[in-house]
Structure 1
């Protein structure tokens, strides 16, 4: 009788255990959520920037007897360099540009409406810029102080005007601009500036196109103001991580 009761007890216990077992293939699980893309931290914090001025369309100080506000506006490409030292607040910059080309412009002097000559302009500036934010697209503003040397020589170009025009200028150039980081180290920048210049001009006018004899000289000191709607389109490379 004891054995019969033991068998009945074991069967009853096994039946209860089987009732609590759930088959794995009958359970429904929610679909796993997989992120569409990994979050990426775009780094723009670098100590140094070197840049090439790829294009510019700018005004220059007045030439010969041009009236105030009618200085030449000229375009150029790949004729300037820029170097910057950056920190978390301000970037300090040094730049240089050189224009060297034949130009034709309205002189507006007595007896001559148009002049052609060899024009050269070299500008060196130091300054600072402040970015509005530190994202991939960064508007900025700032100012430069600089020195400019400019010459115009009409020898061999013009049949009516035989002159050398030499001008030196001290500059203050406030500017605004923006830059966009194509990738973490490479950016494209564009800026415009307004130039306030104190200039010294010396014109040597000759009696004929041989540029011989004693020239008639004109000397001027004056304030000039000129605008560069595209002071520079730059290709920039950044290096030296600030937070590394």
Structure 2
């Protein structure tokens, strides 16, 4: 039964008139759901995945060969918590703010209802964490508590691979994954929560690879060329 339903659905899609966003001048997109890796917070390992909803969008200018796009995403004061039974390590809990603005292009591999595409974006990313850092001793107890603030800002390079389905002329649904190279300047500030009230500030450059397994969203196409 399931195979019959799937076959009928595919036949229905392929039988529709061929539409493509290439017939329109502009496209506006909204990210419905995204699973992404945040930049590393202090010495936390492994990198944390975060699921977000309606946290970004895209504007595209469509061409017959290449579409040029401006995209962005944001996370504002999202609570993050790390749970671990580690010893002799640091655990961070607090709130993270993260936003990205990117400029790039994408190339569709065909002009049918189901369009695989390649994309590449260059942009700017800002990331800030503010919270508490607990040091877990060998006895698995909290031996030290500090207030931690880290700020990263820098350049991102992100190749992407996606697929777009256009069942009707003005609307597409897309799914996209990307691997981002993030080169940033990190400034961290640690305040010991003990009688010494010691403040430590450091600055350094960081290089990271951040994986976004999937972003799913919808695009609306405007401005018919014909």
- The interval holding the TM-score normalised by the smaller chain is 0.7 to 0.9
Structure with more strand by fraction: 2
Counterpart pick for 2:207 among 219, 223, 237: 223
Counterpart Cα distance in 1 of 2:209 and 2:86: 20
Counterpart pick for 2:67 among 91, 96, 106: 91
Counterpart Cα distance in 1 of 2:43 and 2:85: 7
Question: Any idea what SS the aligned residue of 1:71 has?
Answer: coil
- Map of 2:216 onto structure 1: 233
Q: Deviations over 1:147-201 (max 9, x none)?
A: 100000006x978341101111211000000000131111100100011111111
Counterpart Cα distance in 2 of 1:170 and 1:146: 6
Q: Which runs of 5+ in 1 are unaligned?
A: 1-38
- Map of 2:189 onto structure 1: 204
Counterpart Cα distance in 2 of 1:163 and 1:40: 56
Q: Deviations over 1:108-151 (max 9, x none)?
A: 99844432101110100010000000111100002000110000
| Structure with larger Rg | 1
Backbone CA RMSD of aligned residues: 2.5
TM-score, length of structure 2 as denominator length = 0.80
- Map of 1:147 onto structure 2: 124
Counterpart Cα distance in 2 of 1:239 and 1:132: 21
TM-score, length of structure 1 as denominator length = 0.75
Counterpart Cα distance in 2 of 1:41 and 1:183: 9
Counterpart Cα distance in 2 of 1:215 and 1:52: 42
Q: Deviations over 1:87-121 (max 9, x none)?
A: 11100000111012101136999844432101110
How far residue 42 of structure 1 moved from its aligned partner, in angstroms, is 2.9
Counterpart Cα distance in 1 of 2:84 and 2:202: 15
